[in-house]
Homo-oligomer: A and B are copies of this chain.
Amino acid sequence: MRIGELAALVGVTTRTVRHYHHLGLLPEPERTPGGYREYRVRDAVLLARVRRLAELGLSLDEIRDVLADDEGRELREVLTELDADLARQQDAILARRARLATLLADADLNPDTTVAPDFGDLLHDLHPAGSAFAALDRDMLSLIDTGADPAAREQLMAMFRPLTDPDARARGHALTARMDAIAGADPADSRVSALAVDLAAHLPAEMAAAMVASLDEAETGRWLDLMTSELTPAQAEVLRLMVTTLKERA
């Protein structure tokens, strides 16, 4: 038997056979005077055994270990471990398909794949279009959202619910407009401190508490720096003053 026939017999390519030779998974057979590998039935059996293990999902390295280890107890260990690994993969696929299903069901309503559907709607409603500050705020919130686990996200949504009421939304839009208006103002402008106080008053109590608390945690405390570094001096000052106000209130 030459290599093509062996490969066809076992259902692999000749490249695969040579690869297994190279890795030492299959012994090199005798050569004909012309240099061709000459296989016998035994080689086909050995190759078929390697394929069986490979199709179970073992890596070629693992297969070599198993074959070297006199096929005793090593095999059970590896197979058991492999089964556990497959179980994990099953769970992972299940989770991914679940996320896919909600995404697909919602894709028509909400073409923004950045963020969970419900939270995406919320962000979309909350802020007026065409505002640089609103864009930044939306980015920050969607970032926080993507980094959160489902429980934390639910908590986050709950905190925002008071702001989705029509009256609150109108007040929010007005505040956003004032933030845009002072973009070029002096940080000492009297409108700056006034806006900070009004913003602090506008935030629901729970949200204010969460924001203050987050400032002391290394992982979440950076949001204020991140935002101020992308705002004008006056706008940054508004945020800093607002946080000060929130702290005093706590």
* Partner-B contacts on A (CB < 8 A): 1, 5, 9-11, 40-42, 44-45, 48-49, 51-53, 55-57, 71-72, 75-76, 79-80, 82-83, 86-87, 89-90, 93-94, 96-97, 99-101, 103-104, 107, 111-114, 136, 139-140, 142-143, 146-147, 222, 226-227, 230
Cβ of A113: which chain B residues have Cβ within 8 Å of it? Answer: 49, 52-53, 71, 75
- Are A143 and B9 touching (Cβ within 8 A)? yes
A96 CB to closest chain B CB (Å) equals 6
- Are B104 and A143 touching (Cβ within 8 A)? no
Cβ of A140: which chain B residues have Cβ within 8 Å of it? Answer: 41
Cβ of A143: which chain B residues have Cβ within 8 Å of it? Answer: 9-10, 41, 44-45, 48
- Are B230 and A40 touching (Cβ within 8 A)? yes
Cβ of A112: which chain B residues have Cβ within 8 Å of it? Answer: 71
Kindly report which residue of chain B lies nearest to residue A140, judged by CB atoms: B41
**Interface core residue of A41, A71, A94 (most chain B CB under 10 Å):** A41
- Report the Cα distance A5→B53, complex, angstroms: 44
Given A72-B111, A76-B107, A226-B41, is A52 in contact with B146 using a C-beta cutoff of 8 Å? Answer: yes
A181 CB to closest chain B CB (Å) equals 22
Q: Which 6 pairs, one residue from A and one from B, show the smallest C-beta to C-beta distance?
A: A48-B146, A49-B114, A41-B139, A45-B139, A83-B100, A86-B93
- Report the Cα distance A170→B100, complex, angstroms: 62
- List 19 contacting pairs A-B, 8 Å CB cutoff, sorted by A: A41-B136, A45-B142, A48-B114, A48-B142, A48-B146, A55-B96, A56-B99, A56-B100, A57-B96, A71-B111, A71-B112, A71-B113, A76-B104, A79-B100, A83-B101, A89-B89, A89-B93, A90-B93, A93-B93
